[in-house]
Amino acid sequence: MSTIYHLIDRLERLLNESWRMPLSPYVVISEDEFLDVIDQMRTTIPEEIKLGEKIQQERERVIAQAEEEGQRIIQLAQEDADRVMEDHEIIRAAQMRADTILERAQREAEALRADADEYARGVLVSLDDQLASVDEQIAILITTVRNGLRTLTAPEAPEPEEFDD
């Protein structure tokens, strides 16, 4: 389980273990513990982003490697074609072979690029979903804490007077 999920679980546990205000939906949360988890989230989220960047760099490396391999295959095909220029049929066969190798290399490079793009997109979408979930949970916790503070600092309302009919 990733660190961000662990921190979210800690926030949830902090909320669940907090003292409930009698006759209200509010809870009292330890501000120090709450802020400690928030600080850890601020540290962890950039790490998750760095992981996404690392994946993007790996994707670019794979694409560059595929393009380099394609160029190598093209160069080998050209060298093969140059060696067999003595006979017209051999030249035509070599040209067809070079074209086939070039097409295959381009298809493989495109397939590798598409796979790397899809992998990177999936990781970034997952990271985006995780960050959105964290944002929502933090907003809920901040609202809860502020409501609790408001409740604790608000003057007590006078009790209603009873009227005789």
- Number of independent structural domains in the chain: 1
pLDDT digit string (tens) for 123-158? 888 888 888 888 888 889 899 999 989 999 877 655
Question: Mapped to the 3 state alphabet, what secondary structure does the chain carry?
Answer: CCHHHHHHHHHHHHHHCCEECCCCCCEECCHHHHHHHHHHHHHHHHHHHHHHHHHHHHHHHHHHHHHHHHHHHHHHHHHHHHHCCCCHHHHHHHHHHHHHHHHHHHHHHHHHHHHHHHHHHHHHHHHHHHHHHHHHHHHHHHHHHHHHHHHHHCCCCCCCCCCCC
94 in any annotated domain:
yes
52 in any annotated domain:
yes
Q: Is the pLDDT of residue 1 over 50?
A: no
158 in any annotated domain:
no
24 in any annotated domain:
yes
By residue range, what is the domain housing residue 123? 3-147
79 in any annotated domain:
yes
Q: Give the chain's mean pLDDT.
A: 84
140 in any annotated domain:
yes
93 in any annotated domain:
yes
9 in any annotated domain:
yes
